[in-house]
Chain A
Amino acid sequence: MSTYDKSKVASIETVNAGFESEGYICNSQIATAVYLACQLDKPILVEGPPGVGKTELAKATSQFLGLPLIRLQCYEGLDESKALYEWKYGKQLLYTQVLKEKLHDVLKGAQGLAESVTRLHEFGDIFYSEEFLEPRPLLKALNEPAGAVMLIDEVDKSDHEFESFLLEILSDYQISIPEIGTVRAKSKPIVFLTSNNTREISDALKRRCLHLYIPFPDADLELKIIKSRVPEVSDSLRKELVAFIQNVREMDLKKQPAVSETIDWARTLLLLHAETLDAELIRSTLNVILKHEEDIRSIDDQLGAVLGKAEKAVR
Chain B
Amino acid sequence: MERTLTDFVRSLRTSDVRVSTSETIDAINVIKLVGLNDRELLRNSLAVTLPKSDIEKEHFNSCFERFFSFARINEFKADAPDEYDIESDEDPDEFDRGSGGSSGSGFGGLGGNFDGDYDEEMPLPDDLTTLEQALENKGITIESPLARMILRGDRQGLTIAMANAAQAVKLNKIEFFTQKGIYTRKMMMHMGLKELEDEMFSYEDSEDPFERAIGRKLREAREYLRVEVRDYVEHQFLLIADAEGKELKEEITRNIKLSNMELKNFSNIKQVVQKMAKRLIAMHSRRKKVTNRGVLDIRKTLRRNMAYDGLLFETHWKSVKVDRPKIMVVCDVSGSVREVSRFLLMFLYSLTEILPNVRAFAFSSSLFEVTDLFKQKSLEKAVEETLNEYGFGSTDYGAALQDFKDLCYQQIDNKTTVMILGDSRNNHNENRAEILEEIYQRSRQVIWLNPEPKTHWRSGDAEMRNYAPYCHMVEVCNSLNHLERIVNKLLVRAK
Q: Do A and B come from one complex?
A: yes
Q: A: which residues have CB within 8 A of B?
A: 12, 28-29, 32-33, 36, 39-40, 42, 44-45, 47, 159-161, 199-200, 203, 206-207, 209-213, 215
Complex: A209 Cα to B282 Cα, angstroms:
21
Complex: A135 Cα to B216 Cα, angstroms:
84
User: Shortest beta-carbon distance, A21 to chain B, in Å?
Assistant: 21
The chain B residue with its CB closest to the CB of A33 is B48
Contacts of B57 in A (CB 8 A): 213
Q: Is B53 an interface residue (CB 8 A)?
A: yes
Q: Is the CB of A160 within 8 A of B286?
A: yes
Contact of A32 among B20, B23, B41 (CB under 8 A): B41
Contacts of B54 in A (CB 8 A): 47, 213, 215
Complex: A36 Cα to B30 Cα, angstroms:
7
Q: Is B33 an interface residue (CB 8 A)?
A: yes
Q: Is the CB of A211 within 8 A of B53?
A: yes
- Interface residue tally for chain B (C-beta within 8 Å): 26
Cβ contacts A to B, 6 pairs, < 8 Å = A12-B41, A33-B44, A44-B48, A47-B54, A203-B18, A211-B48
Contact of A211 among B29, B34, B52, B282 (CB under 8 A): B52
Q: Is B287 an interface residue (CB 8 A)?
A: yes
Complex: A238 Cα to B422 Cα, angstroms:
60
Complex: A213 Cα to B287 Cα, angstroms:
27
User: Shortest beta-carbon distance, B280 to chain A, in Å?
Assistant: 13
Residue interface bits B32-76, CB-to-A below 8 A is 1, else 0: 011000001100110111011110010000000000000000000
Q: Is the CB of B30 within 8 A of A40?
A: yes
The chain B residue with its CB closest to the CB of A211 is B52
Contacts of A199 in B (CB 8 A): 285
The chain A residue with its CB closest to the CB of B30 is A36
User: Shortest beta-carbon distance, B293 to chain A, in Å?
Assistant: 12
Within 8 A of A (CB), among B297-324: none
Q: B: which residues have CB within 8 A of A?
A: 18, 20, 22-23, 26, 29-30, 33-34, 40-41, 44-45, 47-49, 51-54, 57, 282, 285-287, 289
Q: Is the CB of A36 within 8 A of B48?
A: yes
Contact of B23 among A33, A36, A44, A207 (CB under 8 A): A207
Contacts of A207 in B (CB 8 A): 20, 22-23, 52
Given A40-B26, A160-B286, A29-B48 contact (CB < 8 Å): yes
Complex: A12 Cα to B54 Cα, angstroms:
22
Complex: A28 Cα to B57 Cα, angstroms:
15
Q: Is the CB of B48 within 8 A of A40?
A: no
Q: Is the CB of A212 within 8 A of B30?
A: no
The chain B residue with its CB closest to the CB of A31 is B44
Q: Is the CB of B44 within 8 A of A28?
A: yes
Q: Is the CB of A40 within 8 A of B53?
A: no
Complex: A36 Cα to B34 Cα, angstroms:
9
For the residues of B in contact with A, the DSSP-based class is: helix
Contacts of B41 in A (CB 8 A): 12, 28, 32
The chain B residue with its CB closest to the CB of A200 is B282
Contacts of B51 in A (CB 8 A): 211
Contacts of A159 in B (CB 8 A): 287
Contacts of A42 in B (CB 8 A): 26
Q: Is the CB of B33 within 8 A of A40?
A: yes
Q: Is the CB of B52 within 8 A of A206?
A: yes
Q: Is the CB of A36 within 8 A of B33?
A: yes
Contacts of A215 in B (CB 8 A): 54
The chain B residue with its CB closest to the CB of A199 is B285
Complex: A211 Cα to B30 Cα, angstroms:
13
Q: Is the CB of B44 within 8 A of A210?
A: no
Contact of A40 among B20, B23, B29, B282 (CB under 8 A): B29
Complex: A210 Cα to B57 Cα, angstroms:
12
Complex: A221 Cα to B47 Cα, angstroms:
20
* Among A12, A199, A207, A209, residue most surrounded by chain B Cβ atoms (within 10 Å): A207
User: Shortest beta-carbon distance, A294 to chain B, in Å?
Assistant: 13
Given A32-B41, A40-B29, A159-B287, A210-B18 contact (CB < 8 Å): no
The chain B residue with its CB closest to the CB of A160 is B286
Complex: A174 Cα to B186 Cα, angstroms:
53
User: Shortest beta-carbon distance, A203 to chain B, in Å?
Assistant: 7
In the complex, besides A29-B47, A47-B53, A215-B54, 20 extra interface pairs with C-beta distance below 8 angstroms are A28-B40, A28-B44, A29-B44, A32-B44, A32-B45, A33-B44, A36-B30, A40-B26, A40-B30, A40-B33, A42-B26, A45-B52, A160-B287, A199-B285, A203-B20, A207-B20, A210-B49, A211-B51, A211-B52, A213-B53
User: Shortest beta-carbon distance, A256 to chain B, in Å?
Assistant: 15
The chain A residue with its CB closest to the CB of B42 is A32
Contacts of B289 in A (CB 8 A): 161
Contact of A36 among B20, B49, B285, B286 (CB under 8 A): B49
Complex: A9 Cα to B104 Cα, angstroms:
60
The chain A residue with its CB closest to the CB of B278 is A200
Contacts of A47 in B (CB 8 A): 53-54
* Among B26, B51, B52, residue most surrounded by chain A Cβ atoms (within 10 Å): B52
Contacts of A206 in B (CB 8 A): 52-53
Contacts of B47 in A (CB 8 A): 29
The chain A residue with its CB closest to the CB of B58 is A213
Contacts of A210 in B (CB 8 A): 26, 48-49
Contacts of A40 in B (CB 8 A): 26, 29-30, 33
Complex: A209 Cα to B20 Cα, angstroms:
12
Complex: A212 Cα to B47 Cα, angstroms:
8
Contacts of A203 in B (CB 8 A): 18, 20, 52
Complex: A312 Cα to B332 Cα, angstroms:
53
Complex: A36 Cα to B286 Cα, angstroms:
33
Contacts of A213 in B (CB 8 A): 53-54, 57
* Among A32, A42, A161, A212, residue most surrounded by chain B Cβ atoms (within 10 Å): A32
User: Shortest beta-carbon distance, A122 to chain B, in Å?
Assistant: 31
User: Shortest beta-carbon distance, A33 to chain B, in Å?
Assistant: 4
User: Shortest beta-carbon distance, B450 to chain A, in Å?
Assistant: 34
Complex: A211 Cα to B33 Cα, angstroms:
17
* Among A39, A42, A161, A213, residue most surrounded by chain B Cβ atoms (within 10 Å): A213
Q: Is the CB of B48 within 8 A of A39?
A: no
Contacts of B20 in A (CB 8 A): 203, 207
Contacts of B49 in A (CB 8 A): 36, 210-211
The chain B residue with its CB closest to the CB of A37 is B48
Complex: A28 Cα to B18 Cα, angstroms:
24
Q: Is the CB of B18 within 8 A of A212?
A: no
Complex: A200 Cα to B53 Cα, angstroms:
10
Complex: A116 Cα to B54 Cα, angstroms:
65
Contacts of A29 in B (CB 8 A): 44, 47-48
Contacts of A209 in B (CB 8 A): 52
